[in-house]
Amino acid sequence: MLEIRDLAKSFGGVKATNDVSLAFPDGSLTAVIGPNGAGKSTFFNLITGALKPDSGQVLLDGVDLAGRSPPEIVRYGIGRAFQVASIFKSLTVQETMLAAVSADQRTSAVLHKRFPLPETRDRAEHVMELLGLAGKRHRTAATLSHGDQKLLDIALALVLDPKVLLLDEPTAGMGPEERWRMIDKVRELWETQKITVVFIEHDMDIVFKIAPKIVVLCYGRILATGTPDEIRKNSAVIDAYLGTEHAGAAA
Amino acid sequence: MTELEAGRAQTLVPARSGAALQRYRDVLIALIAFAVLASLPLFTGSKALLDFVIRCSAYGLFATSLNLLVGYTGLTSFGHGMFFGLGAYSFGLIMQKLGVPIPVAFVATLAITAVVAAIIGAICVRLKEIYFAFVTLAFQMLIHSTILSWASFTGGDQGLRGGIPRPVFLGIDLSDHVHLYVTSCALLILGLLAMHQIAQSPFGYTLRMIRDNAARASFLGIDVWRAKLTVFVLAALFASMGGMVMALFVSGAYPEFAYWTISGEGIFINMLGGVSTFLGPMVGTVLLLLLNDTVTRFTEYHGIVLGVVILFFALGLRKGLLDFVADWLAQRRDAGEGR
């Protein structure tokens, strides 16, 4: 279980994350929504160690990870994908996966053997199959389509066998059809891999359709948490973010 | 071999035997290359040609080690020459002052280089891009100034004079020109083989990840600082080896070996030969030394000619010679597959 307690971070006078407390039970799927500048990405950066929180705790199965370095936090089992696909542009898909497994198996500093190590094959292969990248294994990452680069980014997080997977806008920059394909993939991964998934998403149709639980952030604070129905009817959320369209659809 | 070819080769053979095969193939190529180079004295009595190959060995080791930093890790060091100078001076001083056997001095020099590189690297690799380049340059100048001002120990601006003693070991007499030649070739081939192994190891791929996207690498659990420091020290060892070959060749060591222009030449060589292939710097070394030797014979303004050539590669081709060839081959192959 991932539990966030009283997490806070300020940039100058701006409270980007303001006393946020949340719990993500094992195997849950949660969407984080909120207007631009609500502190969604900051929230992810604090959990994964990209930023150091001013105060508060990030507890994964009872271990406090707040303020530790990204490599340490990854090793505890929190993987992430990025809003802008963060990949290794000159490596092929297969090399990327094999090198990531090597990093996870702590053989990334091995000098006397040839890359790739045989024991990295199966896991790399498995995740490439899972994300439908196996057919593009010899493509250089830079030449992949935008959607495939996002998938590769997710594959990089997934290949480490994380307990918790944080996806920062998995559908960013995609067309409507591509969005649904991507989000179906995310849902499929969540169902088959039995991991905790937290994702940031802007498209309300997507969020209300697939997320059993939704967290709404606004100005660094939690505005509301609940099921899609609860969020739709929440007056504070409607005022701050949704407007009347979605509320009307629910009514 | 380019990375592209490496990727293609893997699809043809199963993983386990593929890696082993590649290694056998490398060793085989190295043996053939050594046999060809070592038999050269049988066919030619030209001392100038053998001298040329010895200088190529010294600079080739240096330039290829620089490419481990520049091409593979994305660390553009402007002070890599300090380890070339350090190697030459440490080796020369140990031989002159202690009179130990050559292999002992060789290993001791590598040990000294490793310690110095670890200290300097620990400071430098925290910095990025231009800051890294400038701080490495500053350390280079520091070492150069130390050599100049510590005249009682290093000979100051006169360098290490009086020759480096070269006692016979294992039947090898390095004061004999052919023995020195074959030894230089052996060190070059062994050094290249070791560096190619590093480049193709899991660590080599960690370096490529850091070059492409260091932040992402750290989110995969890689300690970026430690990996950068490791490659900094490894590269320094091979640069130091190059310096030792140079010291043996001229039987001395001079402050120019530790001056920043050596680092500059290393960068030139990498630009000429290309950084996207393993052998690019080796090709660049041969090109630069050839240019240097031929142009200086005709004009004292060789700097202008070299400058024009560098501009042609940098602005005209926008890559090194071997990069250009590799890209051209890849294009041709892709066109062939498309048909």
pLDDT at B110 over 90: yes
Average pLDDT over residues B71-85: 93
pLDDT at B184 over 70: yes
Strand order in the sheet with A78-81: A78-81, A164-168, A196-200, A29-33, A213-218, A221-226
| CB-CB neighbors (< 8 A) of A115 in chain B | 19, 200-202, 204-205
* pLDDT for the residue A101: 93
Report the C-alpha gap between A203 and A224 in whole angstroms: 17
A225 beta partners: A215
Contact B218 A71 (CB under 8 A): yes
> Residues B280-310: pLDDT tens digits?
899 999 988 988 888 888 877 777 888 888 8
**In which band, very low, low, confident or very high, does the pLDDT at A246 lie, cut at 50, 70 and 90?**
low
* pLDDT for the residue B238: 97
Report the C-alpha gap between A224 and A237 in whole angstroms: 7
Task: Look at A218-222, B68-72, B253-257, B300-304 and tell me which has the smallest mean pLDDT.
Answer: B300-304
Q: Identify the three-state secondary structure at position B16.
A: helix
Report the C-alpha gap between A174 and A181 in whole angstroms: 10
Greater model confidence, B282 or A218:
B282
pLDDT at A168 over 60: yes
* pLDDT for the residue A13: 82
Average pLDDT over residues A175-191: 86
Pick the residue from chain B with its C-alpha nearest to A82: B216
* pLDDT for the residue B141: 93
**In which band, very low, low, confident or very high, does the pLDDT at A245 lie, cut at 50, 70 and 90?**
low
Q: Name which of A15, A31, A25, A74 is nearest A49 in CA terms.
A: A74
pLDDT at A211 over 70: yes
Report chain B's mean pLDDT, rounded to a whole number. Answer: 87
Greater model confidence, B296 or B25:
B25
Pick the residue from chain B with its C-alpha nearest to A166: B219
Report the C-alpha gap between B68 and B66 in whole angstroms: 5
Report the C-alpha gap between B70 and A133 in whole angstroms: 31
Q: Does residue B212 sit at the A interface (CB-CB below 8 Å)?
A: yes
Q: Which two tokens stand for residue B101?
A: 């056997």
Q: Name which of A130, A86, A122, A129 is nearest A104 in CA terms.
A: A122
With a pLDDT cut of 90, the percent of chain A lying above it is 20
Q: Does residue A165 sit at the B interface (CB-CB below 8 Å)?
A: no
Q: Tell me how close the Cα of B59 comes to any Cα of chain A, in angstroms.
A: 24
Q: Does residue A65 sit at the B interface (CB-CB below 8 Å)?
A: no
Strands A14-24 and A213-218: unpaired
> Residues A138-159: pLDDT tens digits?
999 999 888 889 899 999 988 8
pLDDT at B12 over 50: no
Calculate the alpha carbon distances from B188 to A108, A125, B5, B113, B267 in Å. Answer: 27, 38, 24, 18, 19
Helices (H) and strands (E) in chain A, counts: 10, 10
Report the C-alpha gap between A185 and B126 in whole angstroms: 39
| CB-CB neighbors (< 8 A) of B201 in chain A | 110-115
Average pLDDT over residues B2-23: 55
Q: Which two tokens stand for residue B189?
A: 């081939």
Contact B213 A89 (CB under 8 A): yes
Q: What is the ipTM of this complex?
A: 0.84
Report the C-alpha gap between A28 and A1 in whole angstroms: 9
* pLDDT for the residue B62: 96
> Residues A113-146: pLDDT tens digits?
888 888 888 889 988 988 888 889 899 999 988 8
For residues B186 and B34, the answer to whether their CB atoms sit within 8 Å is yes
Q: Which two tokens stand for residue A133?
A: 């990248």
pLDDT at A248 over 70: no
| CB-CB neighbors (< 8 A) of B23 in chain A | 114
**In which band, very low, low, confident or very high, does the pLDDT at B11 lie, cut at 50, 70 and 90?**
very low
Report the C-alpha gap between B55 and B35 in whole angstroms: 18
Helices B302-311 and B280-298, axial angle in degrees (round to 10): 150
Of B19, B206, B216, the CB nearest to A114: B19
Which residues, other chains included, contact A56 with Cβ-Cβ below 8 Å and sequence gap of 6+? A4, A5, A6, A7, A8, A19, A20, A66
Task: Look at A199-213, A230-244, B40-54, B276-290 and tell me which has the smallest mean pLDDT.
Answer: A230-244
Calculate the alpha carbon distances from A155 to A9, A80, A125, A132, A212 in Å. Answer: 29, 10, 11, 10, 23
